[in-house]
């Protein structure tokens, strides 16, 4: 017996057969689960130790093969030296390929195999592409990754390292995703792009971040959750996860959602500032900035993300390159966490909100560190002076310590 039905967000029809889009109107599907066996689901939430322990709320067959390698179950670290009391960092950089995208790929590859896929394709700014490539390697199916031609070469190298076929496209990540939509059927590819309009199955993966955070905080709900927004899928998913927990009676409220973007690519933040309806977000012409992981010209899941921000009485703001660089460095030096620049943007917004008093004294904030900054080492290395070597000899070492560190 299937535990879920897919429901179209546009025409509201529901479907028993799995599909990537509404068979009637082409609208975005989402999975709606039976919550009848509440005790079973509550026990599942309390006892879950791994990502796949949440599978009763994944849109996959119980008996299918799982493509998994220890994704999820990431640490929630109390930030102690940033001067923001009550701040926790959810370190998604600990995932196998270094971002939360591994959660998404574990589900979308398991689903693609269940549906008989013999090849997959994805449009990505690098992180989802790397995650897809890694999971394709484990699934043993060919993987085509379309990335903006401007993607830093180390990200392309990582994707290629896992054996995927990289296709740099002269356009933004939004252009790549649109291009794929037009060729998918021709080649019989399954689209594992991490946006619900293209792959509704992976959209449930990010709910597990909420499940884990709630469990890690002993079922206390943080006052705020800060999330960097590219397409908006992760913010939407986390909010939905907290709604599940509330529906099950494991928690008693919802967190307020904070959306963070980069100044050079801030379509959702602009819509928020102009108090636009979730359906009225406008595409950005030329995305810019160092946070390439969130440089989506148009947020494909922006409608659900902005609705979550409004509904939760949340907030949206952006951070520029300078602020991001400084925050990225601060997270490394003060907390020992190597955050990707996209993730540092979320921290910048938390800092601003704390300073302006929007986040009040004593409030609990979770900042989702969505990705590992190690992927940005070439850029970071270029921005700092590397130390000169010293002769392997005691007097030379003493002179060196005196001149370099004044000791
Ligand atoms: C993909 C990604 C995001 C944004 O996720 P969306 O679901 O596209 O909003 C944020 N940070 C990192 C590191 C990412 O890879
Ligand atoms: Zn429909």
Distance from residue 34's CA to the centre of ligand 2 (Å): 21
Rounded to the nearest 10 degrees, the angle between the axes of helix 302-311 and helix 233-247 is 50
Q: What's the rounded Cα separation, in Å, for the pair 208 and 237?
A: 8
Handedness of CA 240, 41, 222, 77 (dihedral sign): negative
Could you tell me if 115 and 183 are in contact, meaning their C-beta atoms sit under 8 angstroms apart? no
- Which ligand 1 atom minimizes the distance to the CA of 229? 9
Q: What's the rounded Cα separation, in Å, for the pair 214 and 300?
A: 27
Could you tell me if 198 and 320 are in contact, meaning their C-beta atoms sit under 8 angstroms apart? no
| Closest by CA position to 149, among listed 130, 133, 172 | 172
Q: What's the rounded Cα separation, in Å, for the pair 123 and 132?
A: 10
Could you tell me if 258 and 223 are in contact, meaning their C-beta atoms sit under 8 angstroms apart? no
Burial environment of residue 284 by CB neighbours within 10 A (0 to 12, 13 to 18, 19 or more): buried
Residues with CB under 5 A from ligand 2 (ion): 8, 10-11, 22, 24-25, 27
Could you tell me if 155 and 375 are in contact, meaning their C-beta atoms sit under 8 angstroms apart? yes
Mutate which of 342, 369, 372, 375 for ligand 1 pocket (most atoms within 8 A of beta carbon): 342
- Which ligand 1 atom minimizes the distance to the CA of 236? 7
- Which ligand 1 atom minimizes the distance to the CA of 232? 9
Distance from residue 44's CA to the centre of ligand 1 (Å): 27
- Element housing 261 (H / E): strand 256-262
Q: What is the pLDDT of residue 91?
A: 98
- Which ligand 1 atom minimizes the distance to the CA of 127? 15
Could you tell me if 91 and 216 are in contact, meaning their C-beta atoms sit under 8 angstroms apart? no
φ and ψ at 72, to 5 degrees?
Answer: 75, -165
Tell me the CATH number of domain 76-98+203-378, given options 3.30.360.10, 3.40.50.11540, 3.40.50.1100, 1.10.10.10: 3.40.50.1100
Q: What's the rounded Cα separation, in Å, for the pair 44 and 135?
A: 25
Q: Which ligand is nearest to the CA of 12?
A: 2
Q: Report the nearest-CA residue for atom 11 of ligand 1.
A: 370
Q: What is the pLDDT of residue 181?
A: 87
- Pull the structure tokens for residue 211: 């499940």
Distance from residue 229's CA to the centre of ligand 1 (Å): 6
| Closest by CA position to 202, among listed 59, 7, 15 | 59
Q: What's the rounded Cα separation, in Å, for the pair 228 and 260?
A: 5
Could you tell me if 37 and 53 are in contact, meaning their C-beta atoms sit under 8 angstroms apart? no
- Pull the structure tokens for residue 215: 């469990």
Could you tell me if 104 and 358 are in contact, meaning their C-beta atoms sit under 8 angstroms apart? no
Q: What's the rounded Cα separation, in Å, for the pair 125 and 101?
A: 12
| Closest by CA position to 121, among listed 206, 65, 181, 196 | 181
Distance from residue 305's CA to the centre of ligand 1 (Å): 12
Q: What's the rounded Cα separation, in Å, for the pair 218 and 292?
A: 34
Q: Report the nearest-CA residue for atom 14 of ligand 1.
A: 293
Distance from residue 266's CA to the centre of ligand 1 (Å): 13
Block means of pLDDT (10 residues each) for the chain, 407 residues, are 91 95 96 92 97 97 94 97 96 98 98 95 94 98 96 95 97 92 90 97 98 98 98 98 97 98 98 98 95 95 98 98 98 98 98 98 97 96 93 97 95
- Element housing 38 (H / E): helix 38-47
- Pull the structure tokens for residue 305: 């993300």
Could you tell me if 231 and 194 are in contact, meaning their C-beta atoms sit under 8 angstroms apart? yes
Distance from residue 230's CA to the centre of ligand 1 (Å): 5
Residues 6+ away with beta carbon under 8 Å from 21: 27, 28, 29, 197, 200
What is the SS3 assignment for 176-206? Answer: HHHHHHHHHHHHCCEECCCCCCCCCCHHHCC
- Which ligand 1 atom minimizes the distance to the CA of 233? 7
Q: For the chain, how are helix, strand and coil distributed in percent, rounded to 5?
A: 45, 15, 40
- Which ligand 1 atom minimizes the distance to the CA of 228? 10
Distance from residue 234's CA to the centre of ligand 1 (Å): 7
Q: What is the pLDDT of residue 2?
A: 83
User: Ligand 1: which residues within 6 Å by Cβ?
Assistant: 99, 101, 127-128, 194, 228-234, 293-294, 340, 342-343, 370-371
Q: Where are the chain's structural domains?
A: 76-98+203-378
Q: What's the rounded Cα separation, in Å, for the pair 34 and 31?
A: 10
- Pull the structure tokens for residue 214: 């709630």
Q: Which residues of 323-335 are buried (b: 16+ CB within 10 A; e: fewer)?
A: bbbebbbbbeeeb
Mutate which of 108, 151, 152, 228 for ligand 1 pocket (most atoms within 8 A of beta carbon): 228
Distance from residue 198's CA to the centre of ligand 2 (Å): 14
Distance from residue 25's CA to the centre of ligand 1 (Å): 28
> Radius of gyration over alpha carbons of the chain, in Å?
21
Q: What is the pLDDT of residue 36?
A: 85
Name residue, tokens 């971002």.
99
DSSP state of 350: H
Residues 6+ away with beta carbon under 8 Å from 106: 51, 52, 66, 67, 68, 69, 71, 72, 135, 205
Q: Which ligand is nearest to the CA of 9?
A: 2
């Amino acid at each position: 017996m299937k535990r879920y039905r897919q429901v179209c967000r546009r025409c509201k029809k529901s479907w028993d057969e799995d599909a990537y889009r509404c068979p009637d109107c082409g609208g975005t599907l989402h999975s709606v689960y039976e919550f009848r066996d509440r005790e079973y689901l509550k026990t599942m939430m309390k006892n879950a130790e791994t990502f796949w322990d949440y599978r009763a709320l994944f849109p996959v067959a119980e008996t299918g093969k799982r493509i998994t390698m220890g994704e999820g179950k990431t640490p929630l670290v109390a930030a102690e030296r940033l001067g923001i009391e009550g701040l926790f960092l959810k370190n998604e950089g600990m995932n196998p390929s270094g971002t939360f995208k591994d959660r998404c790929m574990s589900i979308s590859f398991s689903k693609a195999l269940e549906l008989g896929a013999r090849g997959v394709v994805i449009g990505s700014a690098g992180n989802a592409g790397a995650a897809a490539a890694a999971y394709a390697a484990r699934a043993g199916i060919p993987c085509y990754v379309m990335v903006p031609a401007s993607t830093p070469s180390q990200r392309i190298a990582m994707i290629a390292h896992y054996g995927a076929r990289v296709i740099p496209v002269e356009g933004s990540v939004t252009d790549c995703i649109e291009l794929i939509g037009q060729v998918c059927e021709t080649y019989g590819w399954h689209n594992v792009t991490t946006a619900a309009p293209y792959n509704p199955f992976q959209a449930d993966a990010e709910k597990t971040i909420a499940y884990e955070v709630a469990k890690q905080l002993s079922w206390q709900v943080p006052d705020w959750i800060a999330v960097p927004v590219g397409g908006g899928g992760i913010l939407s998913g986390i909010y939905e996860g907290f709604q599940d927990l509330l529906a099950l009676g494991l928690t008693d409220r919802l967190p307020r959602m904070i959306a963070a973007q980069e100044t050079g690519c801030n379509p959702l933040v602009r819509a928020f500032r102009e108090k636009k309806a979730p359906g009225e977000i406008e595409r950005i012409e030329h995305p810019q900035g160092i946070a390439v992981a969130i440089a989506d010209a148009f947020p494909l899941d922006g409608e659900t993300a902005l609705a979550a921000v409004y509904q939760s009485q949340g907030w949206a703001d952006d951070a520029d390159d300078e602020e991001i660089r400084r925050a990225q460095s601060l997270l490394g030096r003060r907390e020992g966490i190597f955050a990707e620049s996209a993730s540092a943007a979320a921290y910048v917004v938390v800092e601003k909100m704390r300073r302006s008093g929007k986040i009040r004294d004593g409030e609990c904030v979770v900042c989702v560190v969505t990705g590992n900054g190690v992927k940005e080492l070439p850029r970071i290395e270029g921005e700092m002076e590397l130390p000169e070597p010293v002769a392997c000899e005691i007097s030379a070492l003493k002179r060196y310590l005196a001149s370099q560190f004044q000791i």
